[in-house]
């Protein structure tokens, strides 16, 4: 990780309150699932804003984010040619394994970091069977679908009623339908989205004994591993981030691990205590 | 450049406990040896798991934190961090926390057995610990008891970190000085609550948190100003220092050194930029630190 001064290449709105920001970036190549931290330019904003890397291509970094509060509003005001400081790359990303049957499951704002993952998995294995399940609240929130189509079969779920549980169920039933139709069960699932969605996918993976990686989110302060603000509960005995799908049914004692650096944001779903 | 308890500091700037871990992460952005000292996160005798998430909330001009001094305990701290710190070529201040006097003594004994540090900072002011911690720091008698118990078992200079959550900070400051403290650091965070108006519940997992950042600076400067007039031992001033001008205000109010906390999050190089700014101010005014410490009092 380091601080990089980046020039804004472009900024555009791509869905309701959702923006695509492209930066010129000459730092270390980010891995899929890693994130960057935007250092606030506005002196009234105290904390840096962590945003996942949507896509990286030859010196250009694409970030997709939603304008939600004052921090993201100030990012949305950035114009081409302006310069900002970012801390990058941060965190431990998704694992690029040799599995042949891969499912990628994204919901809402969890979708962007999965794009670089889909791209890299396709580059790594041109013969892999990559299924991409994307869920959005409604039409106004749909992002990046055409880009995902370059890397695998895309199944989009819309749920206008918006309960996250329903979104998780419909993605779950799509997965199950595919399997009952004779499609091979995935060897690995990568997921990022609302907590309830990831929790449901993690449960499904556990029931089916499928290796599952999940990118978690938590409020951050420093974003670089120093302050211990952004923690999630993991079992005390957890080695964290092993490539194992061994499910232990005993409920173990927990400890708090950081989402931001060496241990996250991507965790083996089996090594997270879901609440 | 300055001296605290007879040890020289290359620059009058350290970092505030809890914002900097043991320096490894920020060592990627700055040369730690340019700091006057590195101040570690709180270390307890056994591991502490800390408070439930969310642990931070940004507020106007500041932030609330409720980390709860999550730490691996002194044994793992010695194994993982102490040697790294001893090789940083600057002073080390180990921040120590506990629920009872005995907890503090155990940490000091363990550290002294392993080469120790240049200073121990007794954290009697963390608002995020349920028992112990701040309850020592809001009571002059308890501060005196804890400080003198620690004083008896170690020769390492002691810094007592004071809480602003008191009626008269000078009473606590004098109690610490009388009990043998070599220096004081102030202020710790101010206790606060942020409420999420959508869920209609407190935002932080720990409900209350400690407020830091520019919003608290005038309070911190006032407390340094009052304490400087009440005690003879040096003061490390902190609370919302984001710019060199902020640090200079603290020094003029009576701080011999300052600590950078929340500003590290906004700008990982803040501490070094503030050191450079202080030097420029001293040059411009054709003076040195001794010429400006407490000059406004």
What tens digit of pLDDT does each residue of A157-193 get? 887 554 455 556 666 676 677 666 666 778 999 999 9
The reported pLDDT for the residue numbered A254 is: 85
If one counts the domains in chain A, the total is 1
A205, A211 Cβ separation under 8 angstroms: yes
If one counts the domains in chain B, the total is 1
Residue A3 Cα, gap to closest chain B Cα (Å): 7
Tell me, yes or no, whether B297 lies in a domain: no
Query: Which of B21, B55, B58 is the closest to A47 by Cβ?
Result: B58
Tell me, yes or no, whether A62 lies in a domain: yes
* A227: chain B residues, CB-CB within 8 Å: 18-19, 21, 56, 65, 67, 265
Tell me, yes or no, whether A233 lies in a domain: no
Tell me, yes or no, whether A243 lies in a domain: no
In the stretch 115-174 of chain A, residues with CB closer than 8 A to chain B read none
Tell me, yes or no, whether B229 lies in a domain: yes
Residue matched to tokens 């991507």? A266
Tell me, yes or no, whether B223 lies in a domain: yes
Antiparallel, parallel or unpaired: β A101-107 and B2-4 = unpaired
With CA atoms as reference, the chain A residue closest to B65 would be A229
The reported pLDDT for the residue numbered A252 is: 53
Tell me, yes or no, whether A248 lies in a domain: no
pLDDT > 70 fraction of chain B, expressed in percent and rounded: 99
* B67: chain A residues, CB-CB within 8 Å: 227-229
CA distance A95 to B4: 49
- Mean pLDDT along residues B119-127: 92
Return the number of other C-beta atoms located less than 10 Å from residue B121's C-beta: 27
Domain that holds residue A20: 2-90
- By CB neighbour count within 10 A (0-12 exposed, 13-18 middle, 19+ buried), where does B214 fall? buried
With CA atoms as reference, the chain B residue closest to A224 would be B25
In the stretch 74-103 of chain A, residues with CB closer than 8 A to chain B read 87
Residue A98 Cα, gap to closest chain B Cα (Å): 32
Q: Is residue B67 pLDDT above 70, yes or no?
A: yes
Q: Which two tokens stand for residue B94?
A: 């180990």
A266-268 β-sheet, strand order = A153-158, A129-136, A101-107, A188-192, A211-215, A266-268
What is the average pLDDT value for chain B, to the nearest integer?
Answer: 95
- Based on the residue annotation, tell me whether B126 is a catalytic residue of this protein: yes
DSSP annotation of A109 reads: G
Domain that holds residue B126: 2-51+69-194+213-292
Query: Which of B53, B266, B269 is the closest to A48 by Cβ?
Result: B266
Q: Of residues B57, B126, B224, B248, which has the active-site annotation? A: B126
- Mean pLDDT along residues B18-31: 96
A41, A44, A47, A229: which to substitute to probe chain B, counting the most B Cβ within 10 Å?
Answer: A229
Tell me, yes or no, whether B203 lies in a domain: no
CA A224 to chain centre: 18
Tell me, yes or no, whether B127 lies in a domain: yes
* B48: chain A residues, CB-CB within 8 Å: none
- ∠B228-B234-B237 over CA atoms, to 5°? 70
The reported pLDDT for the residue numbered B170 is: 98
In the stretch 199-228 of chain A, residues with CB closer than 8 A to chain B read 218-228
Q: Which two tokens stand for residue B32?
A: 């730690």
Q: Which two tokens stand for residue B82?
A: 């102490």
* A256: chain B residues, CB-CB within 8 Å: 49-50, 53, 70
Residue B25 Cα, gap to closest chain A Cα (Å): 6
Tell me, yes or no, whether B167 lies in a domain: yes
A3·B269 Cβ contact <8 A: yes
The reported pLDDT for the residue numbered A162 is: 46
- ∠B258-B264-B266 over CA atoms, to 5°? 130
B70 touches chain A (CB under 8 A): yes
What value of ipTM does the predicted structure carry? 0.92
With CA atoms as reference, the chain B residue closest to A225 would be B25
B26 touches chain A (CB under 8 A): yes
Cβ contacts from A onto B, under 8 A? 97
What tens digit of pLDDT does each residue of A219-230 get? 999 999 999 999
The reported pLDDT for the residue numbered A163 is: 40
With CA atoms as reference, the chain B residue closest to A39 would be B266
Tell me, yes or no, whether A32 lies in a domain: yes
A228·B67 Cβ contact <8 A: yes
Tell me, yes or no, whether B99 lies in a domain: yes
Tell me, yes or no, whether B57 lies in a domain: no
* pTM assigned to the model: 0.93
B266·A218 Cβ contact <8 A: no
CATH of the domain at A58: 2.40.30.10
CATH of the domain at B84: 3.20.20.70
- Mean pLDDT along residues B267-279: 97
The reported pLDDT for the residue numbered B112 is: 96
* Residues in chain A, pLDDT under 50: 162-163, 240-241, 249
Tell me, yes or no, whether A41 lies in a domain: yes
* A228: chain B residues, CB-CB within 8 Å: 21, 41, 50, 55, 67, 70
């Amino acid at each position: 990780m380091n601080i990089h001064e980046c020039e804004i290449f472009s900024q555009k709105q791509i869905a309701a309150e959702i923006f695509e920001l492209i930066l010129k970036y000459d730092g270390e190549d980010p891995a899929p699932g890693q994130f960057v931290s935007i250092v606030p330019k506005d002196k009234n904003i105290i904390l840096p804003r962590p945003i996942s890397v949507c896509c990286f291509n030859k010196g250009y970094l694409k970030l997709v984010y939603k304008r939600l509060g004052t921090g993201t509003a100030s990012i949305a005001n950035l114009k081409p040619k302006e310069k900002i400081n970012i801390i990058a790359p941060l965190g431990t990303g998704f694992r690029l394994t040799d599995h042949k049957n891969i499912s990628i499951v994204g919901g809402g704002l969890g979708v962007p970091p999965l794009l670089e993952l889909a791209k890299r998995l396709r580059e790594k294995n041109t013969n892999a069977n990559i299924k991409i399940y994307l869920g959005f609240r409604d039409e106004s929130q749909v992002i990046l679908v055409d880009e995902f189509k370059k890397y695998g079969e895309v199944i989009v779920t819309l749920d206008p009623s918006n309960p996250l549980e329903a979104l998780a169920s419909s993605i779950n039933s799509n997965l199950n339908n595919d399997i009952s139709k004779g499609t091979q069960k995935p060897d690995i699932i990568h997921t990022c989205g609302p907590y309830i969605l990831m929790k449901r996918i993690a449960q499904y993976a556990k029931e089916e004994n499928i290796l599952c990686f999940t990118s978690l989110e938590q409020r951050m302060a420093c974003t670089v591993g120093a302050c211990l603000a952004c923690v999630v509960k993991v079992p005390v005995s957890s080695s964290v981030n092993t490539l194992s799908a061994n499910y232990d049914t005993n409920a173990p004692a927990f400890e708090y691990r950081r989402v931001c650096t060496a241990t996250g944001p991507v965790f083996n779903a089996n090594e997270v205590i879901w609440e | 450049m300055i001296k605290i308890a007879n040890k020289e500091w290359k620059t009058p700037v350290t970092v505030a406990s809890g914002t900097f871990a043991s320096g490894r992460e920020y060592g990627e952005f700055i040369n730690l040896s340019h700091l006057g000292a590195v101040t570690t996160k709180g270390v307890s005798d056994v591991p502490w798991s800390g408070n439930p998430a969310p642990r931070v909330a940004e507020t106007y001009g500041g932030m609330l934190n409720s980390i709860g001094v999550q730490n691996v305990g002194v044994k793992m701290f010695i194994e993982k961090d102490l040697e790294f710190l001893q090789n940083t070529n600057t002073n080390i201040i180990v921040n120590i926390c506990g629920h009872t006097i005995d907890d503090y003594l155990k940490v000091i004994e363990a550290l002294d057995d392993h080469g120790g540090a240049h200073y121990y900072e007794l954290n009697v002011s963390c608002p995020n610990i349920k028992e112990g911690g701040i309850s020592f720091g809001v009571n002059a008698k308890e501060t005196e008891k804890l400080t003198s118990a620690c004083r008896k078992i170690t020769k390492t200079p002691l810094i007592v970190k004071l809480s602003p959550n008191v009626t008269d900070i000078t009473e606590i400051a004098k109690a610490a000085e009388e009990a043998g403290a070599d220096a004081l650091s102030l202020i710790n965070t101010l206790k606060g609550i942020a409420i999420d108006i959508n869920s209609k519940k407190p935002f932080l997992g720990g409900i209350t948190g400690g407020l830091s950042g520019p919003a608290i600076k005038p309070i911190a400067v006032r407390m340094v100003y009052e304490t400087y007039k009440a005690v003879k031992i040096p003061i490390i001033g902190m609370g919302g220092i984001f710019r060199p001008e902020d640090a200079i205000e603290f020094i003029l109010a009576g701080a011999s050194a300052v600590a950078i906390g929340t500003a590290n999050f906004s700008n990982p190089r803040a501490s070094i930029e503030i050191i450079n700014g202080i030097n420029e101010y001293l040059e411009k005014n054709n003076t040195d630190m001794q010429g400006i410490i407490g000059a406004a009092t």
